[in-house]
Amino acid sequence: MPGISNEYINGVVNNIVSENNLKECQFSQLNFESIAQNYFGVLIPLVLNGKKNNEAVSLHIVLKLAPTDEQYRVSGALTQFFSREIFAYSIILKKYNILQKGFPIELQYLIPQCYYVCKEYCNEAIAMQNMSVNGYKPYTNKRYLDFDHVTVSLKSLAKFHALSFIMKERDRELYEKSLKVCLPLSAANNKRFMDILQDRLDKALIKLENTKYVPMLETLKQNLNDNIESASNNVQRICICHGDIWKENILYKYEDNRPISACLIDYQTVRTISPAYDALYLIISSTNSELRHQHYGELLTVYYEMFATVLKEAGLNPDFLYSKDMFYSDLKTVGPACFIVANTALWLSNGLQKEGHVRSKTPWNTKEEEIDAVNSYKLAIVGIIEDFIKYGYLYL
């Protein structure tokens, strides 16, 4: 793995040992062949055994490291992503744990413990609790979530958003500090990503040429900046959102083969935007059109009822802070932005991105695979467009 040596890992582990006041420590890790990579980091699971206060302890850790090779730093995106995620784990989530103390367990947002962070350029590192030891695992059964999985996901997301509103009321100084780190997506803050969004709309136009959707896609492309920035500038409320919440960034715990809890992971794109954006993006990126036809209104209700319940538990009034009417109004405002970003994500997840720093994890290799990938992408995109037209979020 480029730039990640055993010597480097040993140095990070020594820092974790020191940070957690551990003695007589040894650690074991998986072979490099088993180590996972996400799009912007290297994930290394390891077990650290030692003593603390003369008692034996075992820490099951996922070590997230930034690639040390400078070629990954050309755009500056990776540095920004790690800066946000380190801030999320060491500041925001730490505060959320304090804010939700005393809440019933069913209303608490699940936060993996953070054992260590390093902010040093090209040596960024986060050591977090390995939730798989607690029974959490990714959903790999199918391309899209079923009703039970998306329901527990939305409930977890609603708790996350509610805690942002609570922090704003209880610790305004920290909330304002978070706004300066978790910047909204805009041309000024991330021009490179905006260029990528436009490129993927160009690709959508090619794949959907000679269809009734071309004029709408052209309009979305022409007004790209306004559409994206409306999700934070023209909405009823903003809060600290995940920013990239789909099934790949969620772990699930099961009981009798049914999901009972969801753990959101990967906070590299945490940003201030309408909570409606996160909720809508999760639904359209991780469910198929058939499920949305049957349950869309029910899913929105599941999200908002959990959001309101957590606020009430904190002694706050959801009708004042972010009413259901505000939420539904924001869904229409953020619809175009959700579609534009989802188009980019679906292009990537269907194996169609074969060049650039961020490439599809499982790209097509044969002509038949390419045809299948394109058809799968087109089916998903057309499904979202038709649903959004029905909801009043997009117009032909």
Residues 276 and 393 in one domain: yes
User: What's the CATH code of the domain at 119?
Assistant: 3.30.200
Average pLDDT in the 208-225 region? 97
Distance CA 332, CA 387 (A): 12
Residues 169 and 120 in one domain: no
Q: For the segment 166-194, what is each residue's pLDDT rounded down to a tens digit?
A: 999 999 999 999 999 999 999 998 888 99
Structure tokens at 241: 């959102």
Distance CA 363, CA 396 (A): 32
Give the per-residue pLDDT at 355.
73
Q: Which of 69, 97, 129 is the last residue of a domain?
A: 129
Structure tokens at 156: 């977890």
Q: For the segment 103-161, what is each residue's pLDDT rounded down to a tens digit?
A: 999 999 999 999 999 998 888 999 999 999 999 999 988 889 999 999 999 999 999 99
Residues 327 and 378 in one domain: yes
Whether the pLDDT of residue 38 is over 80: the answer is no
| Residue 8 belongs to domain spanning | 1-129
Q: Which of 99, 129, 159 is the last residue of a domain?
A: 129
CB 244 within 8 A of CB 268: yes
Residues 100 and 148 in one domain: no
Residues 100 and 189 in one domain: no
pLDDT band at residue 73, thresholds of 50, 70 and 90? Answer: low
Give the per-residue pLDDT at 6.
82
Residues 172 and 299 in one domain: yes
Q: What is the 3-state secondary structure (H, E, C) of 66-116?
A: CCCCHHHHCCCHHHHHHHHHHHHHHHHHHHHHHHCCCCCHHHCCCCCCEEE
Residues 172 and 283 in one domain: yes
Whether the pLDDT of residue 72 is over 70: the answer is no
Can you state the angle between helices 172-181 and 77-87, rounded to 10 degrees?
160
Distance CA 38, CA 66 (A): 10
27, 17, 28: which is closest to 52 by C-alpha?
Answer: 17
* Strands 250-255 vs 271-273: parallel, antiparallel or unpaired: unpaired
CB 74 within 8 A of CB 102: no
Q: For the segment 251-295, what is each residue's pLDDT rounded down to a tens digit?
A: 999 999 999 999 999 999 999 999 999 999 999 999 999 999 999
Q: Over the Cα atoms of the chain, what is R_g?
A: 21
Q: Which of 109, 129, 149 is the last residue of a domain?
A: 129
Q: Work out the percent of the chain whose per-residue pLDDT is above 90.
A: 76
Q: For the segment 311-355, what is each residue's pLDDT rounded down to a tens digit?
A: 999 999 999 999 999 999 999 999 999 999 999 999 998 888 777
What's the whole-number average pLDDT of the chain?
A: 91
Distance CA 212, CA 276 (A): 28
> How is 135-197 classified by DSSP, letter by letter?
T-EE--SSSS--HHHHHHHHHHHHHHHHHHHHHHHH-HHHHHHHHHHSPPP-TTT-HHHHHHH
Distance CA 250, CA 247 (A): 5
Whether the pLDDT of residue 37 is over 50: the answer is no
Structure tokens at 168: 């704003």
